[in-house]
Amino acid sequence: MAKTLDFYFDFSSPYGFLAATQVEALAARHDCDLVWRPYLLGAAFKTTGRQPLLNHPVVGDYARHDIARTARLLDIAWQMPDKFPIMTVAACRAYYWLKDIDVQQAVEFCKLTYQAYFAENRNITDKAVLAEIVASLGIDPEQLLEALGDATVKQYFRDQVERALDLGVFGSPYIIVDGEPFWGLDHFDQLEIWLERGGW
């Protein structure tokens, strides 16, 4: 039976964006099912008492350099958005609403949204931008705008965040497979070894 990779990320996370460009090929190499699970890293920071790397003196400069360098290595178009970090709750709600309609389109939505933010410097907190992305997938943007304010959609996403925190998720990207957590794009190599060997 195919294993499931649970891929947690925040739409405002540069390393999450880079990981999102790699994770499908990784899952395919190992015949794994992949579940995209956007959540709010900010909620995890409250629990862990941490802050975004980019907020820290010296470390932030390194991270900016490292993100750009990693993007170059992986041949990914990248620019630091003007507005950063941002609240990504609307994008997350949109994803979970779409997932209920069509999983594959919801995944496409994630990729397009990341692309819009980190490659095209578009403001993905803006519902009009999300509506445009959804429309490009052939889905009625009016339905999306309605869904974003829907109490059931809101509650569903709150539950998803709570579930992630209960599982100990605290980073972006953060992948769980076989109950084993792998934090960071940097840990994808260990994740691959894990999948190759079935653990160690």
> What are the Cα distances from residue 58, in Å, to 61, 65, 67?
5, 11, 14
Our CB check for a second copy shows the closer of 55 and 136 to be: 55
| CA pair distance 41, 35, nearest whole angstrom | 17
Our CB check for a second copy shows the closer of 22 and 123 to be: 22
Per-residue contact track with a second copy, 180 to 199, x per CB under 8 A?
A: xx-xx-xx-xx--x------
77 contacts a second copy (rule: CB under 8 A): no
CB-count burial class (<10 Å; 0-12, 13-18, 19+) for 6: middle
155 contacts a second copy (rule: CB under 8 A): no
Asked if residues 21 and 122 have their Cβ atoms less than 8 Å apart, the reply is no
> Nearest approach, Cβ of 183 to a second copy (angstroms)?
6
Options 43, 59, 86, 145; binder of a second copy; rule CB under 8 A: 59
Options 2, 28, 29, 61; binder of a second copy; rule CB under 8 A: 61
121 contacts a second copy (rule: CB under 8 A): no
Asked if residues 36 and 110 have their Cβ atoms less than 8 Å apart, the reply is yes
54 contacts a second copy (rule: CB under 8 A): no
| CA pair distance 129, 133, nearest whole angstrom | 6
Asked if residues 16 and 47 have their Cβ atoms less than 8 Å apart, the reply is no
Query: Which part of the chain contacts a second copy (CB under 8 A), choosing from 35-43, 44-52, 115-123, 156-164?
Result: 44-52
Kind of pairing, strands 33-38 and 174-177?
unpaired
- Which residues bind to a second copy, rule: CB under 8 A? 44, 47-51, 56-59, 61-62, 65-66, 69-70, 72-73, 168, 170-171, 180-181, 183-184, 186-187, 189-190, 193, 200
